[in-house]
Amino acid sequence: MAQDAAGQGAQSRFHVPAPPARPGEAPDFSAYSFQKAGEAKRPDPLIDGARTSDLAHGLVGVLDHNHQAVGEWDPRLSPEVLREGLSHMVLTRIYDDRMLKLQRQGKMSFYMKSAGEEAVSVAAAMALNKTDMVFPSYRQQGILIARGRNIVDMMCHCISNSRDNLKGRQLPVHYTWKEGGFFSVSGNLGTQFPQAVGYAMGCAYKGEDSIAASWIGDGTTAEVDFHSALVLASTYRAPVILNVVNNQWAISMFSGISRGEASNFAMRGLGYGIASIRVDANDFLAVYAATRWAAERARKGGGPTFFEMVTYRKDAHSTSDDPGKYRPKEEGAQWPLGDPIDRLKNHLIGLGEWDEDRHAALEREMTAYVTKAYKEAESHGTLHDGPLSPTETIFEDLYDKPDWRLIRQRRDLGV
């Protein structure tokens, strides 16, 4: 890049990066280069972090263009496990679609889908132990589904009704589920990244072999907490998995605004001496295998792993934006790494362990399941029509016991 600047007249000039294509232009992926599935080597999980440069610049992939599992990273999962993963991803997508519709109908204030990114959360959740604490962003609802949270409870949170386990305090999709090892999702980007490291240090301190994992987006890598997390993880060799979900966009900003002149995000971890790996995150098997590798590394005292999970945000950032306003409509459809559900489905079909009819049946089943669940959820109220959790709950859970200020304020409100 320096060269063309020089070419531009060998004089420093103000530079602001821009994406290759904007609305009305043809999608352009020429800046991307992806190592072929099966090519990346799989080193011993206790490898010195500094020696993972090839993995940071390459791409760990298992499913090739024929949807066959190839190479050292193939986790060799049984058809049962693969079908379980497929069904979690399908449920996640159908759940998201349904929630979006309900938001449009005014049943909830806000929603965020994970369309196209289901493998990131589902495969990771299946590769981790249930006792491992996850510190997700707002786009890893797939973890809740894979860990078996009742979707009625998830819906009750999203519609902020009387059964919302967060008492209506949080925006939709900002879940918390301690039982399931799912930490409180913050609306503030990045803050959970260093917290996850602290939690992981706590696991090590207590001599447990549980670990922690966290997810942030490509745009969030620019945030101060990103650096805090990597410094802590490196210095204290924490048993933590730090995932950057590079879905190419941060609301309207392309990944270049946070990546800058670097060719990818995985490289960033190398500078801290942390094992750093770039993963085809639309490849369920690759995400599963990589997460397993990192979990083994962490449990055995090898320390942290930093992942760039390469994927694409297929839909809007949230219900508050229209992606047609800032990127080509066709970009998602043409994304070179395809769709995580299609790819796992075709892999299973290739194995003779799945077919179109069974898939259609699965989709019908999940759709019915979601519809039924929503009926039940709605029976506990909606944000719009209530019932909500009792009003006085807004004064609870700040301190062990409310002090005089909260007691008076509750009285002032008359609840």
Partner 1 sequence: MPAMNMLQSLNSAMDVLLERDGDVVIFGEDVGYFGGVFGATAGLQKKYGLDRVFDAPINESAIVAMAIGMAAKGLRPVAEIQFSDYIFPGIDQIVSELSRIRYRSADQFRTPVVVRTPSGGGIRGGQTHSMSPEAFFTHVPGVQVVIPSTPYDAKGLLIAATESDDPVIFFEPKRIYNGPFDGKPDAPLKSWAKHPKGEVPEGHYTVEIGKAEIVREGQACTVVTYGTLVHVAEAAAEASGIDAEIIDLKTLAPYDIETIAASVHKTGRVVVAHEAPRTSGFGAELAAQIQEECFYALETPIFRLTGWDTPYPHAHEWAYFPGQERFIRALKTVTEA
Options 246-254, 278-286, 365-373, 387-395: segment touching ligand TPP (CB under 6 A): 246-254
- Among partner 1, ligand TPP, its own copies, none, what binds residue 70 when CB lies within 5 to 8 Å by partner kind? none
| 182: three-class secondary structure by DSSP | strand
DSSP state string for 280-293: ETT-HHHHHHHHHH
> Which one among 74, 96, 153, 218 touches ligand TPP, defined by CB under 6 A?
218
For residue 327, indicate whether it is catalytic: no
Nearer to its own copies, 9 or 414 (CB): 9
Please, which residues have CB within 8 angstroms of residue 59's CB and are 6 or more apart in sequence? 34, 35, 40, 278, 279, 280, 310
Please, which residues have CB within 8 angstroms of residue 93's CB and are 6 or more apart in sequence? 114, 115, 118, 341
Q: What are the CB-based long-range contacts (under 8 Å, 24+) for 403-409?
A: none
Angle of CA points 92, 154, 135, to nearest 5°: 80
Smallest separation (angstroms) from partner 1 to the CB of 343? 30
Angle, helices 284-299 vs 79-104, to 10°: value is 110
Nearer to ligand TPP, 260 or 390 (CB): 260
For residue 317, indicate whether it is catalytic: yes
- Among Mg ion, partner 1, its own copies, none, what binds residue 247 when CB lies within 5 to 8 Å by partner kind? Mg ion
Give yes or no for a contact between 215 and 245, defined as CB atoms under 8 angstroms apart.
yes
> Which one among 58, 181, 217, 273 touches its own copies, defined by CB under 8 A?
273
Q: Tell me the C-alpha distance between 155 and 95, whole Å.
A: 9
Binding flag, residue 251, its own copies (CB under 8 A): no
Backbone angles phi, psi at 240, to 5 degrees: -140, 150
Within 13 Å and on the Cβ side, how many CA atoms surround 174?
18
Q: Tell me the C-alpha distance between 333 and 155, whole Å.
A: 29
What is the DSSP code (8-state) at residue 384? Answer: T
> Which one among 83, 237, 313, 347 touches its own copies, defined by CB under 8 A?
237
Binding flag, residue 6, its own copies (CB under 8 A): yes
Which position among 32, 57, 236, 326 bears the catalytic label? 326
- Among its own copies, partner 1, ligand TPP, none, what binds residue 249 when CB lies within 5 to 8 Å by partner kind? ligand TPP
Binding flag, residue 60, ligand TPP (CB under 6 A): no
Nearer to Mg ion, 158 or 250 (CB): 250
Angle of CA points 151, 153, 154, to nearest 5°: 60
Options 34-42, 268-276, 358-366, 385-393: segment touching its own copies (CB under 8 A): 268-276
Q: Tell me the C-alpha distance between 402 and 24, whole Å.
A: 57
- Among ligand TPP, Mg ion, its own copies, none, what binds residue 345 when CB lies within 5 to 8 Å by partner kind? none
Nearer to Mg ion, 96 or 164 (CB): 96
For residue 408, indicate whether it is catalytic: no
Which position among 163, 313, 343, 347 bears the catalytic label? 313
Give yes or no for a contact between 34 and 64, defined as CB atoms under 8 angstroms apart.
no
User: Which residues, 291 to 350, sit near its own copies by CB under 8 A?
Assistant: 297-303
Binding flag, residue 413, its own copies (CB under 8 A): no
Angle of CA points 256, 258, 261, to nearest 5°: 55
Options 255-263, 319-327, 379-387, 407-415: segment touching its own copies (CB under 8 A): 255-263
Options 75-83, 163-171, 206-214, 392-400: segment touching its own copies (CB under 8 A): 206-214
What residues are paired with 147 via a beta bridge? none
Size of the site for its own copies (CB under 8 A): 64
Binding flag, residue 316, ligand TPP (CB under 6 A): no
Q: What separation in angstroms does the CA of 330 have from each of 26, 28, 343?
A: 8, 10, 19
Site residues (vs Mg ion, CB under 5 A): 217-218, 247, 250
> Which one among 67, 268, 327, 347 touches its own copies, defined by CB under 8 A?
268
Nearer to its own copies, 258 or 346 (CB): 258
Binding flag, residue 192, ligand TPP (CB under 6 A): no
- Among ligand TPP, Mg ion, its own copies, none, what binds residue 237 when CB lies within 5 to 8 Å by partner kind? its own copies
Give yes or no for a contact between 93 and 369, defined as CB atoms under 8 angstroms apart.
no
Annotated catalytic residues are: 313, 317, 326
Binding site for ligand TPP (CB under 6 A): 137, 139, 187-189, 216-220, 245, 247, 249-251, 313, 317
